[in-house]
Amino acid sequence: MNLEIKDLWVSIDNEMILKGVNLHVPAGQFHAIMGPNGNGKSTLVKAIAGAPEYTIERGEVLYNGVNVLELEPDERARQGLYLAFQYPVEIPGVTVANFLRLAIQARTGKEVEFMDFYKKLTRALEILDWDESWVNRYLNQGFSGGEKKRNEILQMLMLEPSFALMDETDSGLDIDALKVVAKGVNAMRSANFSALMITHYNRLLEFIVPDMVHIMVDGRIVKSGGKELAVELEANGYEPVKAMAASQPAAAF
């Protein structure tokens, strides 16, 4: 629930992407990270989740006091971390329902009773305005972009993580799909659930209102504020923030 990033430096292919990120997301809060393309936003959430292509050069990511960077990706998931992908993968031959049952069993280490699973699934589908036919299809195969994103939120509702890392979940969504996805995320809101959302657009934050907005430029957080910061970016673009970041001394590795 409580996530604290301390002086995080991350590289890929010997190129430093994150350059001393410090960020605290308290339990029960939703934070958003915005910023220009190619400045490290997606790298941050993927590194926290344990994507193997990234090298942690320095720093800690403390989740309820445990440095998750020392855990394998599946162990991080069992700790309660969930990554909603920007580009969800297709898995032919595995139905959505079977995938969900297997995922819940892997997360909890317990056999899932069919009736309990079915009741939970029915409720989640109702929240997302989906009928049961969707869960009999192969995972994401033939799904539109919006349907894949809706399925990511279905997985989140079923797995009940305590912290969601959302990597541009709103990308490629029309307004109706965005509202449905936001409805699913907002259904998770509680004192025991937090989220870190990566987005380019204020429109997502109109439906999932963040407690804090952070701006990332050149691999570091350069400005933080309330939701009004996203409105300011919508009006003025990133050039003023880039200029401000250029005037700030960069941390030394």
Tens digit of pLDDT for each residue in 63-81?
Answer: 989 999 999 999 999 999 9
CA atoms within 13 A on the CB side of 135: 21
Give the pLDDT mean for 177-193: 94
Q: Is residue 109 domain-resident?
A: no
Please state, rounded to an integer, the average pLDDT across all residues of the chain. Answer: 92
Q: Give residue 251's identity as a one-letter amino acid code.
A: A
What is the C-alpha to C-alpha distance for residues 135 and 127, in angstroms, rounded to an integer?
A: 14
pLDDT above 80 (res 48)? yes
Whether 152 is covered by a domain: the verdict is: no
Helix, strand, or coil (residue 245): helix
Could you tell me if 43 and 18 are in contact, meaning their C-beta atoms sit under 8 angstroms apart? yes
Domain harbouring 178, CATH code: 3.40.50.300
At residue 43, the pLDDT reads: 96
In-domain check, residue 207: yes
Residue with tokens 């994150």: 18
Asked if residue 1 has pLDDT above 80, the reply is: no
Q: How far apart are CA 249 and CA 8, in angstroms?
A: 17
172 has pLDDT over 90: no
Tens digit of each residue's pLDDT (9 = 90 or more) over 205-219: 999 999 999 999 999
Reported as a single tens digit per residue, the pLDDT across 138-156 is 999 999 988 999 999 999 9
Residue 132 has pLDDT above 80, yes or no: yes
Distance CA 25, CA 5 (A): 9
Residue 190 lies in a domain: yes
What is the span of the domain harbouring residue 34? Answer: 3-87+162-247
Distance between CA 214 and CA 158 in Å, rounded? 29
How many CB atoms lie under 10 A from the CB of residue 14? 6
In 3-state terms, the chain is what percent helix, strand and coil (to 5)?
A: 40, 30, 30
Cα-based distances in Å from 104 to 77, 78, 114, 119, 130: 11, 10, 12, 14, 20
Residue 49 lies in a domain: yes
Say if residues 224 and 214 touch (Cβ distance below 8 Å).
yes
Helix count (H) and strand count (E) of the chain?
A: 9, 12
**The pLDDT value given to residue 92:** 93
Percent of the chain topping pLDDT 90: 75
Specify the residue for token string 């907002």: 186
Q: Is residue 103 part of a domain?
A: no
- pTM of this structure: 0.93
Indicate the number of domains in the chain. Answer: 1
In a domain, 28, yes or no: yes
155 belongs to a structural domain = no
| Tens digit of each residue's pLDDT (9 = 90 or more) over 13-42 | 999 999 999 999 999 999 999 998 889 999
